[in-house]
Amino acid sequence: MLLSHKHQFLFVHIAKTGGTSVRTALSKYRWGHKYSLPQFVCSKLSSFTGHRIGAKFPRHSKVIAAKEMLPDEYFEGLFKFVFVRNPWDLQVSSFHHIKRERPQVMQGHDDFESFLKWKFDPERPYQYHIDTSLEFQSDYVVDLHGNVIVDFIGHYESLQEDFDQACDKIGIERIALPHKRKATDRSTYHSYYTDETAELVANYFKRDIEILNYKFDDKA
């Protein structure tokens, strides 16, 4: 999550949706206001204490955290935006990330089909690095009653175009996004799935698919 007091925007960062590029482009807008010094001090103190003092929003906080912690009038005045990603594509991205960075947690399930079936097995013991990618993207954009409370939902599939719209709404110059963590080692996500594994994702992420308006045969 990235908050700019000067430009009155709140970026909600969902993992693996292009958010690292967005954060990089917008990071300079965190500063240049009257609260910059205490914000900087709080950020450093938070890091120094292992984020145990609640002095800043964690990188992947949900929008409800900001709504609960900020004054109502201030929160309502912010332009709140987020980027989301096709759930089937996100699971392919997660598979490659885990296989590259933490293959030991896969417990031998190193091909996509067996990994996905194991991942969605309700009897599987909890494993942080596996289960974080099973979070619902829709949880990042709703309040406690399930109402969408962000002002703009951009899409990974049209990242630059949607980011341009966000910049226009914020009132800053459009910025060419850096290609942070861009994958070049795979074909489109459709080729990874069988009918069975595609249905696994469809059933589990039904709420995301409905709220965020995705379908399996979207263009990558």
Map out the domains of the chain as residue ranges. Answer: 2-212
Report yes or no: 10 and 163 within 8 Å, Cβ to Cβ. no
pLDDT reported for residue 174:
95
- Return the CATH fold of 2-212: Rossmann fold (3.40.50)
Please report, rounded to a whole number, the percentage of residues in the chain having pLDDT higher than 70: 92
Report yes or no: 180 and 21 within 8 Å, Cβ to Cβ. yes
Q: Higher-confidence residue: 11 or 33?
A: 11
| Cα→Cα distances 20→11, 23, 67, 152, Å | 11, 5, 23, 18
Using one digit for the tens of pLDDT, what is the confidence trace for 134-143?
A: 999 999 999 9
4 band by pLDDT with thresholds 50, 70 and 90: very high
| pLDDT of 187 over the 60 cut | yes
Q: Mean per-residue pLDDT for 159-165? A: 97
pLDDT reported for residue 135:
93
219 band by pLDDT with thresholds 50, 70 and 90: low
Lowest mean pLDDT among 135-139, 184-188, 190-194: 184-188
pLDDT reported for residue 163:
97
pLDDT reported for residue 94:
94
Closest C-alpha among 138, 143, 153 to residue 206: 138
- Can you say whether residue 87 is alpha, beta or left, with left for phi > 0 and alpha for psi between -120 and 50 degrees? alpha
Q: What is the pTM of this model?
A: 0.86
Q: Higher-confidence residue: 187 or 86?
A: 86
Using one digit for the tens of pLDDT, what is the confidence trace for 62-121?
A: 999 999 989 999 999 999 999 999 999 999 999 999 999 999 999 999 899 999 999 999
Residue 82 to residue 143: CA distance in whole angstroms:
14
